Structures are given as structure tokens and as C-alpha cells.
Amino acid sequence: MTDRTSRRWFLGMATGAAGGLAVAGQWPIGKLSATETSGSLGDFEAHVRSASGQSALVIPDPPAGRPAEATEDNILGPYFREGAPYRGKVTPPLEPGQPLVVFGRVLGLDTARPPQRTVIHVWQANADGRYDNDDPEHPPAKGVFINRARIGIDETGYYEYETIHPGRYRTGPTSMRPAHIHYHVEAAGYESLTTQMYFEGDPENAKDPWVKPSLIVKQQILETPRGNVEVAEFNIVLRPLAGLDRTR
């Protein structure tokens, strides 16, 4: 007996209702029209500049020489999860909190070039300092990833994502972790890097035993027609695997 709830049955019914498709999944080519353009990137830049008095996010050029040192590592923490989706927006729609855009480049220490097959895992707490899996009695549903993402890089090593400023959270009766975003970076021919990004001016930075000064970024405020957005640059430099130093 045919499963009337299957996707194939649904597509077949939709095809019959449309009255113009002989095979499910085909488009009525004669009825299609090109998607209209809404303007160019230059038009957007001009709009932001006229509305806020400043340009939109300015992407810096890649560095000219080899990086001086690799990015320092940091603790993984207990809340990492495998399998987050690839996407440029880490948070769910309408997530409460201060909007934040993080950008930077991933480069190899030995070549100053972007490593091939780079994957950046990012995860963080929400504005209240909670992770989606920090309550063992109420774990997230399978396939649901909140405030987590995997991100790729372009041909210059550039990456960018949108999120919110993470909240601090208590780790003991008198201790709190400062705001931070977790990173785990993997790339062909390079050591995997697990680290964290911290924010300048956080009052808990000086008290936290895991904060490293090189991992603290200075956030700026970008004024937009829809409100202020924090912007932070966090560049990552990976160490080559032993025996694969390409500078020799």
C-alpha cells in the first residue's frame, strides 16, 4: 500500500494541483522569470553612510608578511557539541542581547596563507549566561543547535558571523566567567586549535584563571539604522603539523 504521507506522494499531489508539471520536481520553464535585483553593494554602503554618518563594516586587507606567532590555546569547556550547522548567524532569530558581528582571518603560521579545508566551530552562552546543553535534565532536542555554528573561510582566509554579546555565568559562590566565545578550528596540514575570545573591559577578565591577554579583543560600536551593533576582530594563526613546515 502506498504511504500517502510520503514526500513523493505529496510532490505528486502538488504536481497535479499545479496542472503544469509532468514529473515531480521539474519547474515550468516557460513560466519562470528572472529574480529582480534590489541594488548593488555600493548602494547599500551609500545608504548606511547617509543614514548613520559612517561606512558599514570595513574589512581589512590580508597581512603582508608571515604572522609573528600562533594563536594561544584555551580550555575546551564542558559544553562543546559536534554537528552544529554551517551558517553565518550563530544565534536563533530574535535572540535577546546586544547584536555582535565578529570577523577575522585564519592563516598559517608558516605561510601567512589560508589553510585548506578550514572549519571553525563556534559556541557560546546566551545573554543570560546559559548554554543550550547546560541542564542535564533538559537537554536540547536532537539536531537543535542554539548559539552554535560551523563557519568556513574565503580565499583570503576571511570569516564573519553574527551573534549577540554572550553573558557571564557563575562558576562558584564567588567566581564568574567573563563573557567569551569558544572556538575550535580544524584545517588540513595544521594542528587543531581550541581557544576562546574574550572582550576588553569585562570586569571578570582580571579574576578569571583562564583568560590570556592575547585572546582579548577590543569591540567597537557600529551605528546602523536599526540600532547599534558591536563589532570585534579576532584573527587566528594555526601551527603547521610537525614535519610540514613550508618555510624551509
- 176 contacts 225 by C-beta, under 8 angstroms: no
- 102 contacts 161 by C-beta, under 8 angstroms: yes
Cα–Cα distance list, 3 to 76, 220, 231, 242 (Å): 46, 56, 51, 55
Total domains present in the chain:
1
pLDDT the model gives residue 26: 64
- 121 contacts 106 by C-beta, under 8 angstroms: no
Residue 119 to residue 193: CA distance in whole angstroms: 11
pLDDT the model gives residue 14: 45
Residue 5 belongs to a domain: no
Residue 147 belongs to a domain: yes
Residue 50 belongs to a domain: no
Alpha helices per DSSP H over the chain: 7-18, 41-52
pLDDT the model gives residue 63: 76
Residue 9 belongs to a domain: no
pLDDT the model gives residue 17: 46
pLDDT the model gives residue 60: 79
What CATH number did the domain enclosing 247 receive?
2.60.130.10
pLDDT the model gives residue 15: 44
pLDDT the model gives residue 10: 37
pLDDT (tens place) for every residue of the chain, 248 residues total? 444 444 444 344 444 444 444 445 566 666 787 888 877 766 655 655 555 555 567 777 877 777 889 999 999 999 999 999 999 999 999 999 999 999 999 999 999 899 999 999 999 999 999 999 999 999 999 999 999 999 999 999 999 999 999 999 999 999 999 999 999 999 999 999 999 999 999 999 999 999 999 999 999 999 888 899 999 999 999 999 987 656 55
Residue 36 belongs to a domain: no
- 135 contacts 85 by C-beta, under 8 angstroms: no
- Residue 128 is given by DSSP the state T
- 138 contacts 201 by C-beta, under 8 angstroms: no
Residue 68 belongs to a domain: no
pTM, whole model, 2 decimals?
0.78
pLDDT the model gives residue 66: 79
Residue 57 belongs to a domain: no
Helices (H) and strands (E) in the chain, counts: 2, 12
Q: What range does the domain containing 84 cover?
A: 74-248
pLDDT the model gives residue 244: 66
Kind plus residue range of the DSSP H or E element containing 237: strand 236-238
What is residue 26's three-state secondary structure? coil
Residue 12 belongs to a domain: no
Based on C-alpha coordinates, what's the Rg of the chain? 23
